[in-house]
Structure 1
Amino acid sequence: MKPVASLVADPPQLVSDLIDHTRAAWREDLLRQVFIPIDVEAILQIPLCTRRVDDFWAWNDDPRGRFSVRSAYKMIVKIKIGREAWLEEREDPSNSEHEMRGWNSLWNIGIILVLNVLAEYPVIESAAKMSTHMILLDKTGSPAPSARTVGFNSAPIPAFTEKGAAYILLVERDDLMANCVVDDYFEVLCSTDISWEKNWTPPASPPGLGHDLTIMLGKQDLTDVSIDVGRESFSAHRLVLATRSPVIRAQLYGPMAESKMTSITIQDMEASTFRSLLHYMYHGSLPHAGKNDGSRHVDRRLLVAADLASTIAQYQHLLVAADRYGMEELKMICEDKLCSNGIIIDSVVSMLELAEDHVCPKLKARCFDFLGDGDNFKMVATSGEYLHLMQSFLTLLVEAREYITT
């Protein structure tokens, strides 16, 4: 909303100035000094978050406050037509056929994605055959059937252009927007299959710095700090840890007590979680998650379900750890993993709470998309866990209503 008018010449510039943070309530006396009564009553109806949240810029023409080219275009068209109607002294045709025709002609254009494969590397130059595929992923992370790849798939190298080949992904814009776009972006999975001549071996890449550091860690070579987590102790290199995490850097090289210690104790974290965190610091990738014990006497369906639950829990704990230590890239990887296959009836509430606590907008949007299904919502909304979550986070309740009812 936007107040109609202000009663004072110099009104407060920030919403936070109108809030009594000690009581988490509006400063009604100040509101009545600054705004006219109708605005005051409207403002008092806005629920306030019970947690401390800093002000942020929000786009007025989107229900979620997020800017997009689409919403900006729609705003400009609406203003333009309204201004023309005012100048011509006629009724504002906000839903006129002219507006809709222009809107549809722009946003119904097909999407074409082009992937260039350059044939200037030894691996590709020596290949006998190569095929490339691009797969558009829907909101659940599964292949979208409406998109198709065209190009020189499975073609021999001589059929390529001088520098390589181009592969094109065709998709209708409406299908893309309805089935694949989440938070104004979509995902495309690209893969290339290369076949070489017989008896030819691709040249091996020389080991890099990451490989050497990993070898040093495995051999406990030149380690200069130990981290105690639970009942386990991990040896590592201070410089590597400080490079990968700004929080650990402050602990090891800042004015904190740990800067003079050779051992650090981490509370409220499982040893297995820190092991994965340390693996990522040195390898730049995650270890395989969700491994089972190989028992032959367990029902396979139960084993798959147990593995999935274990993997989801590992990624949840790792996301919390990544957020705690300021490792944004790892946090995004964990968020993507949870968005892909972690949202089910039994986990959506905990996922929603995780997304709210650790500011994961993509994960939150996927949870709301999942609850947007009527059957899913009926099963989840009656649970005590869901009701407790909504009572604990009033702003989350407001967002849930906006997502599910739209």
Structure 2
Amino acid sequence: MTEPSFTLGIEEEYLLVDLETGDLASAPPKELFADCEEALEGRVSPEFLKCQIEVGTRVCSTMAEARAELAFLRRTIADKALPYGLAPIAASTHPFGEWMDQAHTNKDRYNVIADDMRTVVDRLLICGMHVHVGIEDDDLRFDLFNQLTYFLPHLLALSGSSPFWQGRKTGLKSYRLAAYNEMPRTGLPERFPNADAYRETVDVLVRTGVLEDATKIWWDLRPSDRFPTLEMRITDICPRLDDGIALAALFRCLCRMLARMRAQNLRWRDQSLFLISENRWQAERHGVSAELIDFSRGQRIPMTALVEELIELVAEDADAFGCQAEIAHLRKIAQEGTSADRQLRTYETALKSGKSEQDALKAVVEELVEETLATTEPEVHASAR
């Protein structure tokens, strides 16, 4: 069997905020998207809500290439938004945005979804990061698809950026998933023995008129309907580019690690989806403070220790991809916390300094703008503060 390409593509969804008030831009000017589209040539698209915008990298061969692409995409969106008094934030929820104040984008696909899902999709004021890894062989792709589910809670725990919902602390590090779980065809994916079994299952829904195609299957991990890739969708989006790139590197390395195991007639042990869903909940609730169940040892292990094990597990793959620094960065996330931890600290610090709850939440938005724009050119960064 030919070695997979393990090419990489990353999609990020941003919220657009008013630089002065910190509030969501519920009706951004149409000219803004036109400006972005002209500059990014097919690498930007509207999202379901008007206050959102999505970017996607070209197909990348290295982590350095993916990093440069994402930095350019973030910088361009920031550049184009600035004249309108707006900025993107790479966070999975807005600290105080109200979903009832938002309107969905007038696009055929989104109009159909809005009519079908009603209030469930109206509440979808959330953003994520999706990572595609190229695995051309059908048999290998679905074998890895079944095994990778085990690692999805680990990826989630390292990504949390949605501790607030409509101005309230949720007690979760990734409230985004709680909102997303209301949608059908979400959550951990089913397991399939091969590509044909998957396609036959999807065909049942298409033939009966439930779905137009597999793009309306929104699992945490899915085979792409358009490309020979596996698409990891469980993670929150990370304001700090270094964090997002580290998670993309980990997913890519896990794909290669499992492919190496298969070449040696080995595979990761299947675990009950019910048990993995408990790890998913622990990650959603606690982030890097979570203790996930190690099923082989029959005990809960702190994320800090699990990250050390992951780094060791994919060391050979990080060497092969030249992404040792990105994988090592996971240790920093585990030790210092994710965006959710920083947002909560900023909020509590602002309250202790005498700020009102609303001003404390606005301080969180300002921090998110700062972190998201940290990859932009200095003059843009300075003028957006």
Give TM-score, length-normalised by structure 1.
Answer: 0.20
Higher helix share: 2
| TM-score scaled by length of structure 2 | 0.21
Q: Which has the larger radius of gyration?
A: 1
* Greater relative contact order (Cα < 8 A, sep 6+): 2
